[in-house]
Amino acid sequence: MNVEYSKQFVKTAYELTGKYKSSLQKIVNEVKSAKNISELTNCVKMVGLQQSYRIKMGDYRLVLILKLTDEAVIFQLLLPRGEVYKKEHELYLRKREMGR
């Protein structure tokens, strides 16, 4: 799959250290080599959102949006476990799914 990254995702990814950085690299490589979303491990569709999925990575969650028209995956958010489910992030993802 084609992979793209949001600025917010890249900023948080640069702050990671140690095992999280290597885990993130493994996940990104797995997404790049996958033919479809069902081949990804620990990838679950987010409730209430149409194209958003989350991948567990220790205490962090990677949120990605699957764009079917471009056959691309956009890594949108990389947040600590407790923050990813907050209302403000859900509204942000809804806007991104609509393309705004």
pLDDT at 68 over 70: no
Q: What is the pTM of this model?
A: 0.85
In the beta sheet, which residues pair with residue 3? 73
Tell me, rounded to whole angstroms, the distance of Cα 16 from its chain centroid: 15
- Quote the number of domains for the chain: 1
Residue carrying structure tokens 């989350």: 54
Output the domain CATH number for residue 93: 3.30.2310.20
Supply the range of the domain harboring residue 23: 2-98
C-beta of residue 73 within 8 angstroms of C-beta of residue 33:
no
Calpha distance 14→67 (Å, rounded): 25
pLDDT above 70: residue 69: no
Residue range 28-67, pLDDT digits in tens: 999 999 888 888 888 999 888 888 999 999 899 999 988 7
Least confident of 3-12, 31-40, 65-74: 65-74
Give the span between the Cα atoms of 65 and 96, in whole angstroms.
Answer: 8
Q: What is the pLDDT of residue 26?
A: 94
- In order, the DSSP letters of the chain are -EEEE-HHHHHHHHH--HHHHHHHHHHHHHHHH-SSGGGSTTEEEPTT-SSEEEEEETTEEEEEEEETTTTEEEEEEEEETTTTTSHHHHHHHHHHHHT-
Residue 96 has a pLDDT of 86
